[in-house]
Structure 1
Amino acid sequence: MVKPKVYVTRIIPEAGLRLIREFSEIKVWEEPLPPPREVILEAAEDADGIVSLLTDRIDAQLLDACPSLRVVSNMAVGFDNINLIDASERGVLAGNTPGVLTETTADFAFALLMAAARRIVEGADYVRTGQWKTWGPLLLLGSDVHHATLGLVGLGRIGAEVAKRASGFDMRVMYYDVVRRTDLETTLGLEYAPLEIVLANADFVSVHTPLVPETHHLMNRERFEQMKPSAILINTSRGPVVDTDALVEALRAGEIRAAALDVTDPEPLPADHPLVDMPNCLVVPHIASASDATRSKMAEIAAENLIAGLKGEPLPCGLNNEVVGKGRNSLPRDW
């Protein structure tokens, strides 16, 4: 029996690979770094499906270089690496893995908040480098989290879960979103305000917006000037939502106290980037969803999306299911 051909751009958890192997002929890029563009174009030229990550650009060039391609399954919630217009025009289905990482990412966002507030990484480095000689009343003083004000920039699923965690610390939670959520204001005790008001009042600003043209560099020089000098920025959304150069200047000038970043622009940051060595900036390598259970479930959903698309069915987590039965998706299947 002929099986569809699938290219997976990185090793993913076995929960997903197992499902894909059972249904298709699979080819996997097994190196730790993302495959170069030319490698993807060659390796996927006869693929019927691709499992992609945020590092893989899915655009007209790739879609035209892979004429058999019917479905692209992104193992991520975000999908700014996929040009949905290009995919839909060709009848190529696309999907993502929403929902499953919501609580895990919210846990991590709050962990970054705590780590930056209480200078935990600085403290560990202080001990590791042999600087700890005695207890001191002024040693590594940080910011209290309890009873502080948390400002959420974006109130999607992850933002709402962060708000729930803040309630355990008796925090006042303010938020800004393009869509006001009066239901969550009631159930979670949130306060809605314009962005500049949220920033002016928040001790911690946690960013939870998708990356779209309107949110590119949403957190810029003007926004940092609106924040308290004692405020801490947390970003677990997308790197380009924050203007990196403006953040460097704000941290150096003391316009804000600190930042904790799971995502950056560029990503990864070069080893000699100013943010890497700043004591008031904590940078981690985009690991907010990196728990065993969550990554396995993401891989499983990505596989289910892929298989549905190869069958010509709507994807369980589809981004453009309206193209089912159109364009390439309407072509006969040999499997």
Structure 2
Amino acid sequence: MKIVVLDDYQRVARDLGGFDSLPDAEVEVLHEHIAGPGDLADALRGAEVVVSMRERTPFRADTFARLPDLRLLVTTGMVNAAIDLAAAAAHGVTVSGTTATGSAKSSATAELTWALILACRRHVVTEDRALREGRWQTTLGADLAGTTLGVLGLGRLGTQVARIGQAFDMRVIAWSENLTPERAAGAGATWVPKDELFAASDVLSVHLKLGDRTTGLVGRAELAAMKASAILVNTSRGPIVDENALVTALNGGWIAGAGLDVYGIEPLPLSDPLRYTPNTVLLPHLGYVTEAGYRAMYTQAVEDIAAWRAGSPIRVMAAE
């Protein structure tokens, strides 16, 4: 049985997941992202099992059609918008996920969100570079205490971010389409209308799931409504924010800066204008990238493969 593990950028999959413990398996681990469907089909030729990392690689009907040997697709996570589950079923491919339970799932992205907030408000990256170049104290930071944290999407991650905001003595406000004042209050936040969320926030942090209703939700009008001193942080999904509008807002000084961990195209192309925007801290989708998180995901991926080989697949994902 041939198994291909995609996108192991850090070269840790074998050690953290124990793939080599699977009997009678030829395991190939790929360390560079493969973007084109033709190149992907070539790389996966003959593989019965593929392990994909999050939503980095789309698996649509045309992809499955190019992979006649594929029988099991394992994805890290239990939701993956890049996989067409109906097409997988039509091509006889079982799709299993991983729950990645434990502290890594519960805190890693919220922690990184605050790393970005602090880096932006205190100009950490700018001052680091200046110091290395021989300059000393080139910026003025901005306090968090007494300012307003706006949380766009108050689910599990948004609630964690909101509670940390309270620890910084920030006023926390929140909005999403289905959020109620009662649910917001339960998380220590105040529900406000969408317009007020953008207008009142000193820090606006995005924590929505990507879907038809949320794609492009943060657009030109929303960015224009924000304070010139405000920052935007997105550790959710890139397409929730209109990136063209964000580039315009940053270059035009509509907002003071942005901290981004997610993008419409990942890895972020070298030519992408976001790379050249002022007052930004850009990270390569690290929200879930911790040793504990990877160990849980890869270990469960190996469990998925073993269960499937035994004829009793687990954590199966199916189209609704």
1:245 is aligned with what amino acid?
N
Q: How far apart are 1:5 and its partner, in Å?
A: 3.5
Matched, 1:70 2:61: no
Indicate how the Cα distance of structure 1 residues 248 and 43 shifts in structure 2: closer, same or farther if over 3 A, else same.
closer
Q: Check the 8 A contact 1:20/1:303 in 2, yes or no.
A: no
Q: Check the 8 A contact 2:237/2:262 in 1, yes or no.
A: yes
Indicate how the Cα distance of structure 1 residues 278 and 67 shifts in structure 2: closer, same or farther if over 3 A, else same.
closer
**Residue in 2 that maps onto 1:281:** 280
Q: How far apart are 1:220 and its partner, in Å?
A: 0.9
2:162 is aligned with what amino acid?
A
Indicate how the Cα distance of structure 1 residues 245 and 19 shifts in structure 2: closer, same or farther if over 3 A, else same.
same
Matched, 1:129 2:133: yes
Distance 1:92 1:102 in 2: 30
1:10 is aligned with what amino acid?
D
Q: Check the 8 A contact 1:236/1:263 in 2, yes or no.
A: yes
Matched, 1:188 2:187: yes
Match of 1:9 among 6, 9, 20: 6
Q: Check the 8 A contact 2:226/2:255 in 1, yes or no.
A: yes
**Residue in 2 that maps onto 1:178:** 177
Name the SS of the counterpart of 1:213 in structure 2.
Answer: coil
Indicate how the Cα distance of structure 1 residues 229 and 215 shifts in structure 2: closer, same or farther if over 3 A, else same.
same
Structure 1 residues 247-294: Cα deviation after superposition (integer angstroms, max 9, x where no partner): 011112221111010112333333344332333111111112222112
Q: How far apart are 1:308 and its partner, in Å?
A: 3.5
Structure 1 residues 54-96: Cα deviation after superposition (integer angstroms, max 9, x where no partner): 2222111222233343331112465122112312334533244
Q: Check the 8 A contact 2:58/2:82 in 1, yes or no.
A: yes
Q: How far apart are 1:23 and its partner, in Å?
A: 4.9
Structure 1 residues 279-315: Cα deviation after superposition (integer angstroms, max 9, x where no partner): 3111111112222112211222333334434444353
Name the SS of the counterpart of 1:152 in structure 2.
Answer: strand
Please give the root-mean-square deviation of Cα atoms over the aligned residues, in Å. 2.6
Name the SS of the counterpart of 1:28 in structure 2.
Answer: strand
Name the SS of the counterpart of 2:213 in structure 1.
Answer: helix
**Residue in 1 that maps onto 2:47:** 47
Name the SS of the counterpart of 2:74 in structure 1.
Answer: strand
Distance 1:77 1:250 in 2: 35
Q: Check the 8 A contact 1:173/1:189 in 2, yes or no.
A: yes
**Of the two structures, which has the highest relative contact order with CA contacts closer than 8 Å and spacing of 6 or more?**
1
Where do residues 225-264 of structure 1 align in structure 2 (5 Å cutoff)? 225-264=224-263
Structure 1 residues 10-52: Cα deviation after superposition (integer angstroms, max 9, x where no partner): 3353355415642561332433343753343234343332101
Indicate how the Cα distance of structure 1 residues 253 and 265 shifts in structure 2: closer, same or farther if over 3 A, else same.
same
2:30 is aligned with what amino acid?
E
Q: Check the 8 A contact 1:314/1:321 in 2, yes or no.
A: no
**Residue in 1 that maps onto 2:150:** 151
**Residue in 2 that maps onto 1:59:** 60
Distance 1:114 1:262 in 2: 14
Q: How far apart are 1:203 and its partner, in Å?
A: 0.8
Indicate how the Cα distance of structure 1 residues 186 and 218 shifts in structure 2: closer, same or farther if over 3 A, else same.
closer
Name the SS of the counterpart of 1:215 in structure 2.
Answer: coil
**Percent of aligned positions with the same letter in both sequences?**
31
**Residue in 1 that maps onto 2:198:** 199
Indicate how the Cα distance of structure 1 residues 207 and 124 shifts in structure 2: closer, same or farther if over 3 A, else same.
same
Structure 1 residues 140-197: Cα deviation after superposition (integer angstroms, max 9, x where no partner): 1122112221111122221121112112112222222233266653442112223222
Distance 1:214 1:204 in 2: 23
